[in-house]
C-alpha cells in the first residue's frame, strides 16, 4: 500500500496526521515516521529557508520504483508506505519530506524507512536552493542522478 | 530539430522562463545538445563557468520521463529535461 505526493508549499503543508491515517492498521505492529526539516545552519552559513524544486513525474515514478524494489530486495511484502516531498519555499523547521512506514515487525520498519530515504537521495530529481541571512541564495551542488537504465 | 529544454534545479538560472528553445541537427546526440547549451551560455552569460559546470554534470530525460544516455539520437522535435545533480530530502 503506497501513497506518494509532491506538496506545493504555496497551497498546503505536509501533515503527519495524514500519514498516520494512511498507515494505521492493526495488522502492523511497528510504525516509523521519518521527517526531514529545514535546518538553520549548513556549511557554516546561516540558512533562513530553502526553495525546493522537483521534476514531479520522475520523482513520483522513483518513489514507486523504490517501493516496488523493497519487495524484492528487502523481502518486505506486507507494508504501508506514505511518502510526500515538498516543493517551493519552506521556512526553518518546516517539513520537507515525510516517509511513514508500517510493517509487522520493528526490524522491517527500520530497514524499510532507511532504505527509502537513502534511495530518494540517490535517485529522485529534487533540488534545493538555500537562502541565507544576507539575502543571498545558492543551489546546492548535489550528486549526479543514479539510474540503472543509463 | 527543435528542442524545448525544460529547466530544473540550478539550470533554472539559465532563463527567466522554465525552458530554453534550441535547434540541433537531425541525429544529434545528447553530447551535441550539451554543446548547444554551452554555446547559449557563452552567448548570453559570457561563458559563466558555474553554469557550464552544471551543464557538464547534468543528465537528461525524455518526454517519457526516462533518463536518456549520451548516445541517444535526436531524430524529431521534442521536449527534453535537463537534470542537474540532485539532492532532495
CATH number for B2-83: choose from 3.40.50.1240, 2.120.10.30, 3.10.20.30, 3.40.50.300.
Answer: 3.10.20.30
CA distance to partner chain B, nearest, from residue A127 (Å): 5
Q: Do B66 and A149 touch (CB under 8 A)?
A: yes
The interface predicted TM-score of the complex, written ipTM, equals 0.93
End-to-end CA distance of chain B: 37
CA distance to partner chain A, nearest, from residue B39 (Å): 22
Question: Can you list the domains of chain A with their CATH numbers?
Answer: 2-135 (3.90.1170.40)
**DSSP per residue over chain B, as a string?**
-EEEEE--GGGGGG-SSSEEEEE--TTEEHHHHHHHHHHHHHHHHTT-HHHHHHHHT-EEE-TTS-EE-TTPEE-S-EEEEEEPPB---
Cell numbers at A10, concatenated: 504555496
Closest to A127 in 3D by CA, of A84, A75, A83, A86: A86
pLDDT at res. A71: 86
CA neighbours closer than 13 Å in the CB half-sphere of residue A113: 20
Question: Could you count the other beta carbons within 10 Å of the beta carbon of residue A47?
Answer: 17
Q: What is the DSSP secondary structure assignment for residue A120, as one 8-state letter?
A: H
Contacts of B13 in chain A (CB under 8 A): 139
Q: What is the DSSP secondary structure assignment for residue A142, as one 8-state letter?
A: -
pLDDT at res. A147: 60
Q: Do B88 and A139 touch (CB under 8 A)?
A: no
Contacts of B69 in chain A (CB under 8 A): 150
- φ, ψ of residue A133 in degrees (nearest 5): -65, -25
Please tell me the distance from the alpha carbon of residue B11 to that of residue B58, in angstroms, as a whole number: 9
Task: Pick B61's closest partner by Cβ from A53, A58, A85.
Answer: A58
Residues 5-34 of chain A with CB under 8 A from chain B are none
- pLDDT, tens digit (0-9, with 9 covering 90-100), for A29-66: 999 999 999 999 999 999 999 999 999 999 999 999 99
Tell whether the model's pLDDT for residue B1 goes beyond 70.
yes
Contacts of A54 in chain B (CB under 8 A): 8, 88
Query: pLDDT band at B71, cuts 50/70/90?
Result: confident
Q: How far, CA to CA in Å, does A143 sit from each of A17, A44, A123, B88?
A: 32, 20, 9, 10
**Do B89 and A96 contact (CB within 8 A), yes or no?**
yes
Domain chopping of chain B, boundaries:
2-83
**Do B87 and A50 contact (CB within 8 A), yes or no?**
no
- pLDDT, tens digit (0-9, with 9 covering 90-100), for B20-40: 999 999 999 999 999 999 999
Low-confidence ranges of chain A (pLDDT < 50): 148-150
Structure pTM?
Answer: 0.94
**Using beta carbons and an 8 Å cutoff, which residues of B are at the interface with A?**
8-10, 12-13, 57-59, 61, 65-67, 69, 81, 83-89
Task: Pick A127's closest partner by Cβ from B10, B57, B59.
Answer: B10
Task: Pick B87's closest partner by Cβ from A85, A140, A149.
Answer: A140
Q: Do A55 and B65 touch (CB under 8 A)?
A: yes
Q: How far, CA to CA in Å, does A14 sit from each of A32, A85, A95, A117?
A: 16, 8, 6, 16
| Chain B residue closest in CA terms to A86 | B89
Amino acid at each position: 500500500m503506497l501513497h506518494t505526493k509532491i506538496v506545493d508549499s504555496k497551497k498546503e503543508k505536509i501533515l503527519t496526521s495524514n500519514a498516520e491515517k494512511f498507515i494505521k492498521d492493526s495488522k502492523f505492529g511497528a510504525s516509523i515516521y521519518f521527517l526531514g526539516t529545514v535546518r538553520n545552519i549548513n556549511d557554516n552559513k546561516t540558512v533562513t529557508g530553502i526553495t525546493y524544486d522537483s521534476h514531479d513525474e520522475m520523482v513520483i515514478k522513483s518513489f514507486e520504483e523504490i517501493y516496488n524494489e523493497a519487495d524484492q530486495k528487502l523481502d518486505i511484502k506486507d507494508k504501508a508506505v506514505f511518502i510526500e516531498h515538498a516543493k517551493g519555499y519552506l521556512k526553518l523547521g518546516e517539513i520537507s519530506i515525510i516517509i511513514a512506514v508500517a510493517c509487522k515487525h520493528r526490524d522491517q520498519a527500520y530497514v524499510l524507512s532507511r532504505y527509502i530515504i537513502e534511495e530518494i537521495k540517490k535517485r529522485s530529481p529534487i533540488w534545493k536552493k538555500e537562502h541565507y541571512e544576507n539575502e543571498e541564495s545558492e543551489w546546492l551542488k548535489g550528486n549526479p542522478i543514479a539510474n540503472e537504465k543509463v | 530539430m527543435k528542442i524545448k529544454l525544460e529547466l530544473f534545479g540550478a539550470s533554472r538560472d539559465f532563463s527567466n522562463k522554465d525552458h530554453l528553445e534550441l535547434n540541433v541537427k537531425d541525429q544529434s546526440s545528447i553530447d551535441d545538445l550539451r554543446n548547444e547549451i554551452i554555446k547559449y551560455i557563452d552567448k548570453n552569460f559570457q561563458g559563466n563557468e558555474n553554469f557550464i559546470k552544471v551543464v557538464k554534470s547534468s543528465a537528461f530525460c525524455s518526454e517519457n520521463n526516462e533518463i536518456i544516455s549520451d548516445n541517444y539520437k535526436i531524430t524529431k522535435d521534442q521536449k527534453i529535461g535537463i537534470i542537474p545533480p540532485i539532492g532532495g530530502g
